[in-house]
Structure 1
Amino acid sequence: MRRNLLARAAAFALLFHAPAAFAQAAAPAPAAAAATQDADPALWVVKDKDTTIYLFGTVHLLKPGLSWFDEAVRQAFDASGELVTELGSTPDLATVQPAMMKYGIAMSGPPLSEKLPADKRAAFLKAMADAGVPQAVADRFDPWLAGTQLSMLTLIRAGYAPDSGVEAALDAAAKAAKKPVSGLETVDQQFGYFDALPEAAQMKLLTDAIDKMDEAPGEFAKLISAWASGDAERLGTLMNEGLRESPELAKVLLADRNARWADWIKARLAKPGTVFVAVGAGHLAGRDSVQAMLKARKVKTKRVKY
C-alpha cells in the first residue's frame, strides 16, 4: 500500500508535462551531475507501407548527466519529419500561468491549509515556504495543484530537473533541425483533467504528497532506473499500480488519454511520412498502455531492438 502511494505521487513526473513546467519556475536549480551515465530507454514503432510512427516514453524530470538521446533513439528522431509530444513545444511560465490561475486557484472559500487534516498542515506550509510560496498564496491553491507541485518540488530539490528532462532535449533538437512540433493536448486540457476530479480525490493527492516527501526521491529513482534500462514491464508495475489504486484517477489520467492517443496514431497512419511521438513513459507501460489500446484497434506495435 505505502509503495503504491509513493509511486502514484511520483507518477506525475512521468505522465504530465504542464505541472512540471510550473514547478520548474518555482524551484532552485539543481547541482550538475558529476559524470555521464548511459541509458537505453524503450522505443517502439508502428508502420504501414508509407508511414512510420516511433513511440518513445519521456521523463519530464531527470538528473543532469544521463545519456539517453543517442543510438536508436537518435536515429529514429533524425529520420522523422516531425515531432509530436503531449504539449508540443515546451511551455513556458507565461503559457502555463494563465491556465494555472483558471484551473488551480480558488480566489474565495476556506484556505487550503484549513481543509487539510490538522496533522498535515505544518508540513505542508513549511514545504511551500521552503519553495518560496507564501502561505497567503498556497492557501488559494486547489488541492490538486498543491499536491502536484509539492511532488514536483520534492523531486527537483533531490536533483531532478525539468531542464534535463526528455522534452527539453527533444524540443531543442527539433528546433535546431527545423522540424515541426505539435501537441496531442493543451495545457488547459492537462490542468482540466485535475480540476475535474472530485475534491476528495484532489485532497488524497495532496495528503499523499505531504506524507511521502522524504521517501519520494528514492521511489522515483527506481522508476528512472526501470526507464533507463528499457524495462517497460517493471516501469508499468512500479508506476501504474499506484494509479490503479484509485480507479477514477487511473481512468481519467491514464486509460482515457491513452485511448485518445491510440485513435490519433491509427488515424495518422493514413498520412505518409515518419513521425516521432514522445509522451510520458507511464503511458507506454502496463496493461492500459498506448500499445495495448492500439492492439485493440488492430494496429501492431513493435519494440525496436538496440
Structure 2
Amino acid sequence: MLRSLIKTASALALSAGVLSAPALAEDHAEDHKSEGTGPALWQLSDDDTTIYLFGTIHILPEGETWYDDRISSAFDASEELVFEVDMDDMESAGVEMAARAALPEGQTLRSLMNEEDLAQYEAALQGIGIPAEALDPVEPWVATITLGMVPLLQAGYQPDQGVEMVLRERGEDKTRTALETMDEQISLFDTLLMDAQLAMLDATVEGIDDVVTSIETMKAEWLGGDAEELGALMNDELDNPELYQRLLLDRNRNWVDWIETRLEQPGTVFIAVGAGHLAGTGSVQDILAERGYSVERVAH
C-alpha cells in the first residue's frame, strides 16, 4: 500500500500543486468579479519568437471544459511544448521518490511528532481511510504530499485529467522540453530541514478537511480567468519564508532565465506550469517585467 501511495503522489505533486493549496480563508471564498471566461493565457514575443505562458491545475475531475479557442490557437501554433518536468517519465519519478523517501532505519514518522501533532495526524489518516502506521517509514514531505492527494482522489479528481496530461496527449507531435529534472523537483522537498518538513505536514493535517473545498474554489477562479485571485488563493498562505523562496521565487527566476535564453532562438513555444507561478508578487511575469520584457494577456 505504501508504495502505491508514493507512486500516486509522485505522478501528481512533484510540481508542488497540492502543497500550494492550503485551506482557504473566508474572504477568499466570497464571490468575485471574473476577468473573463476560461483560464488565463499570456504571450511575450520578439521579432522571431513567440512564447505563450499558460497556468495549469495539475489534477481535475473528468469532464472539465477549459480548452477553448484561445488556448487551441496558441497550442496549435506552437512547435515546442514545455512542462515543469518530463511528463513522459512519471514511472521513474515514482521509483526515485520511493528511494529517497525513507527515514533512517529505526526511526518512524510518528516518532518525530509531539503528542498534539501526533493525535491530529492519526485522526487525519483515519478520516481518509489510511492506517496509522502506513506512512511510518517515510519522511514528512512524502506524507504531506500523500495527505494532500488522497482526499482529491476520493472526491473524483483524476491524475489523467490534469492539464499537463491533456496537453501531453494533444501535443504528441511537438518537441517537448522540461524546465526542471525529476531530481530537482524531488530535492525541493527532500532537502528541507526536518523541522520545516514537520511544519509543512502539520499545516496539511490541519487543513485536510478543506482540501477539496479549496481546490474547488481555485478551479472556479481558474476557469473564470481571475488570475490574481487564483494567485492569492495558491500563494498567500505559503508564509514560511524558506518554502516561499524554494518552491516559488527561486524556481520562477530559473524559469525566466530559461525563457530569456529561448527567446534567442526562433519559433513558437507553449509553456504550461502551475497557475500559482503566473500570478501574484514574484510571478514569472513580474520577473520578466523587471528584466524589461512586455508580457500581454491573450484576450478572450
Which TM-score tier does this pair reach, normalised by the shorter chain?
0.7 to 0.9
**8 Å contact from structure 1 (residues 85, 182) kept in 2:** yes
**Residues 87, 165 of structure 1: CA spacing in aligned structure 2 closer, same or farther, 3 A cutoff?**
same
Q: Flag the 1:45–1:296 CA change in 2: closer, same or farther, 3 A.
A: same
Q: Which residue of 2 aligns with 1:54?
A: 52
Q: 1:189 aligns with which of 141, 164, 184?
A: 184
Contact kept in structure 2, 1:144 and 1:195, CA below 8 Å: yes
1:205 pairs with one of 197, 200, 207: 200
Deviates more, 1:266-275 or 1:135-144: 135-144
Whole-angstrom CA distance in 2 between matches of 1:16 and 1:303: 27
**2: CA distance between counterparts of 1:302 and 1:160?**
32
**Structure 1 residue 283 displacement after superposition:** 0.3
User: SS state of the match for residue 197, structure 1?
Assistant: coil
| Identity over aligned pairs, percent | 41
* Equivalent of residue 277 in structure 1, options 252, 256, 271: 271
Q: Is the 8 A contact 1:39 1:66 kept in 2?
A: no
**RMSD (Å), alpha carbons:** 2.5
Q: Can you give the 5+ residue segments of structure 1 that lack an aligned partner in the other structure?
A: 1-11, 21-37
Cα distance in structure 2, aligned partners of 1:281 and 1:117: 35
Contact 2:41 2:297 in 1 (8 A): yes
Match of 1:27 in 2: none
CA distance 1:267–1:39, shift in 2 (3 Å): same
Q: Deviations 1:131-155 (Å, cap 9, x if unpaired)?
A: 7866555111100111111111122
Question: Does 1:146 find its partner at 2:140?
Answer: no
Normalised to the residue count of structure 1, the TM-score between the two structures is 0.82
Within the candidate set 106, 110, 115, 1:113 is matched to 110
Match in the other structure for 1:33: none
Q: 1:118, CA displacement in angstroms? A: 2.5
Equivalenced residue count is 274
Distance 1:209 1:104 in 2: 18
- Is 1:226 the counterpart of 2:224? The answer is no
Which residue number corresponds to residue 23 of structure 2? none
1:214 partner SS:
helix
Shift in alpha-carbon separation, 1:234–1:300, aligned structure 2, 3 A:
same
Q: Find the partner of 2:247 among 248, 253, 258.
A: 253
Q: Residue 297 of structure 2: which of 275, 280, 303 is its match?
A: 303
Aligned residue in 1 for 2:66? 68
The counterpart of 1:157, out of the listed 154, 157, 166, is 154
Deviation at 1:105, TM superposition (A): 1.7
Distance 2:52 2:165 in 1: 18
Structure 2, unaligned runs of 5 or more: 1-9, 19-35
